[in-house]
Chain A
Amino acid sequence: MSGPLTVFRSTVGTKVIMGATGVILAAFVVVHMLGNLQIYLGPEALNSYAESLRHVPVLLWGARFVLLAAVALHIASAVRLTRLNRAARPQPYELWSPQVTTYAARTMFMGGLILTAFILYHLAHFTFGLTHPEHFALHDSKGRHDVYGMVVMGFRQPLVSFFYILAMIPLLLHLQHGVSSIFQTFGINHPKVNAFVRGIGPAVAWVVFIGNVSIPLAVLAGWIPYPVGGP
């Protein structure tokens, strides 16, 4: 390897890859949440949004490819970095009293693993329709794939909702540290912007958390009608 490709070799480069893929993943999570929030606008809004995404397969598959590649690289880098990091301290301290290292920063890898598990389940649930084929098969009045119905029906089962809500906690932590961390990884650290940098991670993380968690909670609370007109 030579030139820019050496980025794959060093720990600094590996971290840069985590950062770059992290940006993509974080951006996806934010946009995805915004998309999901359309559920509050009713079935028409959400289903047509979903339909319109599917309308341009190039874009959809392009995005999926980028996303998949990002996840793969992110995970591969995470595994590599974490292995190196753990090997660098084979004998732990008997007493370790971190002064500033946050819980979020300490649990990035475990959090990531839980997220991976969640994503797999989530894909099985909503994208491949494996866990609840009956919800997956729903269609709305215009004959479109009824994403709205699928989500509401899914979250009406307390266990599913509970699992989603639980999974949003590692995401919260991961983004809290991760989003602020991106700036440092790309060399942005200046007293003038540091207040912003330090705040942006938690801000994004909480917005995503609240946005996402609100959906299953709202469904369970019965605020989201299905079929429209009320059960």
Chain B
Amino acid sequence: MRVTLRIWRQKDAHSPGTFVTYQKDNVVPDMSFLEMLDALNRELVERGEEPVAFESDCREGICGTCSLTINGIPHGPGRGKASCQLYMRHFRDGDTITVEPFRAKPFPIIRDLIVDRSAFDRIMQAGGFISVNTGGAPDANSIPVPKPAQELAMDAAACIGCGACVAACKNASAMLFVAAKVSHLSLLPQGQPERYRRVRSMVAQMDREGFGGCTNTFECEAVCPKQISVRFIARLNREYLKALFLE
């Protein structure tokens, strides 16, 4: 297979970027998209050119490192997959593929296809935790958790923090990510003591980072590799409203 790649190249956060076109031959359908880029990079190095900078680590859809916008869709075509789980068999010989970074002001591009997502960490630092110190926790079975609550909490906790929700949202809103975390903890009995403080401080930090607001367009859910449901955004709204009056 042969594909034409239009890839965003940008030296650093301060330089302007531009698209560069590459031809990639010898693509096999069993290659993952990232392996295809690896192969391209090997060719570039052999030719003495700078390889395309993109990030990945686990390459099995769990670490949330990979972050490509492929043909206008964060993580590329196909539901419930991270970029690293996309295989070339989804493309056809002769296709032109446009590869861009995730674009959002709070995710500055620091090189080519690499963005800085530390804003997510700061949101977590603002309240994405339960304040328990090591030691002194009661026996695990002394806190029963109803199975449905646990299952729903797990649905939310599955978020890999990739930022595709932000990348896909027309407002670059981080609501799905924040909603997932807030929901995970507020659904569990352990999360109750800090329930309202948490939602307020995480939302405040989210705003401070410069993410947009949610206008319920649900694009985030469609691209989320873990298919986190926008139900959690509704839950966040609920939590937030309660927090207004309860604290």
Enumerate chain A interface residues (CB-CB to B < 8 A): 3-4, 6-7, 9-16, 81, 84-102, 105-106, 108, 177, 180-181, 183-190
Residue with the greatest number of chain B CB neighbours at <10 A, chosen from A15, A86, A96, A188: A96
Given contacts A16-B241, A89-B172, A189-B234, contact A95 B214 (CB under 8 A): no
Q: How far is the CA of A180 from the CA of B231 in the complex (A)?
A: 14
Q: How far is the CA of A94 from the CA of B6 in the complex (A)?
A: 11
B73 contact set on A, CB distance < 8 A: 97, 99
Instruction: Name the contact of B219 in the complex, choosing from A14, A86, A94, A101 (C-beta under 8 A).
Output: A101
* B contact residues around A88 at 8 Å (CB): 104-106, 171-173, 210-212
Contacts A6-B244, A87-B210, A92-B103; A181 near B172 (Cβ below 8 A): no
The answer to whether residues A99 and B222 also contact, given A94-B100, A187-B234 and a CB cut-off of 8 A, is: yes
A95 to B7, CA, bound (A): 12
Give the size of the chain B interface in residues (CB under 8 angstroms): 49
Which of B204, B215, B234, B241 is the one whose CB lies under 8 Å from A81? B215
Is B245's CB under 8 angstroms from A4's CB?
A: yes
B72 A186 Cβ-Cβ under 8 A: no
Q: Are B105 and A89 in contact (CB under 8 A)?
A: yes
Query: Looking at A9, A95, A190, which has the most chain B CB atoms within 10 Å of its CB?
Result: A95
In the docked arrangement, what's the CA distance between A173 and B100, Å? 31
Contacts of A81 in B (CB 8 A): 212-213, 215
Given A4-B244, A16-B237, A89-B171: 5 more A-B contacts, CB < 8 Å: A10-B207, A89-B104, A90-B105, A96-B72, A189-B234
Q: Is B153 an interface residue (CB 8 A)?
A: no
User: Is there contact, CB below 8 Å, between B212 and A187?
Assistant: no
Give the tally of cross-chain contacts (CB within 8 A): 144
The 9 closest A-B pairs by CB, nearest first: A187-B238, A11-B213, A97-B72, A189-B234, A88-B212, A85-B171, A85-B212, A88-B172, A95-B72
Least CB distance from B153 to A in Å reads: 16
Q: Are A189 and B230 in contact (CB under 8 A)?
A: yes
* Interface of chain B residues 65 through 90 with chain A (CB within 8 A): 69, 71-73
Determine whether the beta carbon of B207 is less than 8 Å from that of A93.
no
What's the minimum C-beta distance from A193 to chain B, rounded to whole angstroms?
11
CB distance from A74 to the nearest CB of B (A): 13
Complex: A1 Cα to B210 Cα, angstroms: 20
**A17: min CB distance to chain B, Å:** 11
Q: Is the CB of B234 within 8 A of A93?
A: no
Which residues of B sit under 8 angstroms from A98, Cβ to Cβ?
168, 170, 217, 219
Q: A94-B100, A100-B217, A106-B170 are in contact. Are A84 and B203 (CB under 8 A)?
A: no
16 A-B interface contacts by CB (under 8 A): A3-B245, A15-B213, A85-B170, A86-B212, A87-B105, A89-B170, A92-B103, A95-B71, A99-B168, A101-B170, A102-B217, A181-B215, A186-B237, A187-B238, A189-B233, A190-B231
Chain A residues within 8 Å of B54, by CB:
none
A102 to B222, CA, bound (A): 13
Which residues from A are CB-within-8-Å of B236?
Answer: 12
Identify B234's interface contact among A84, A91, A177, A184, CB under 8 A. A184
List B contacts of A93 (CB < 8 A). 69, 72, 100, 103
Residues of chain B with a CB closer than 8 A to A4's CB: 244-245
Chain A residues with CB under 8 Å of B241's CB are 16, 186-187
CB-defined contacts of B231 to chain A, threshold 8 Å: 189-190
Are A184 and B219 CB-contacts (below 8 A) given A12-B203, A97-B73? no
Q: Which residues of B contact A14 (CB under 8 A)?
A: 213
Most chain B C-beta atoms within 10 Å of own C-beta, residue among A87, A106, A183, A189: A189
* Residue B240 lies at the interface, judged by CB distance under 8 Å to chain A: yes
Q: Which residue of B lies closest to A109 (CB)?
A: B215
Give the residues from 87 to 110 in chain B that come closer than 8 angstroms, CB to CB, to chain A: 98, 100, 103-106
Which residues of A have CB within 8 Å of B203?
A: 10-12
A177–B212 Cα distance when bound, in Å, is 18
| C-alpha gap A71/B143 in the complex (Å) | 49
B216 touches A85 (CB 8 A): no
A95 touches B100 (CB 8 A): yes
Task: Please indicate the chain A residues that have their CB under 8 angstroms from the CB of B168 in the complex.
Answer: 98-99
Which residues in B have their C-beta under 8 angstroms from that of A94? Answer: 8, 19, 98, 100
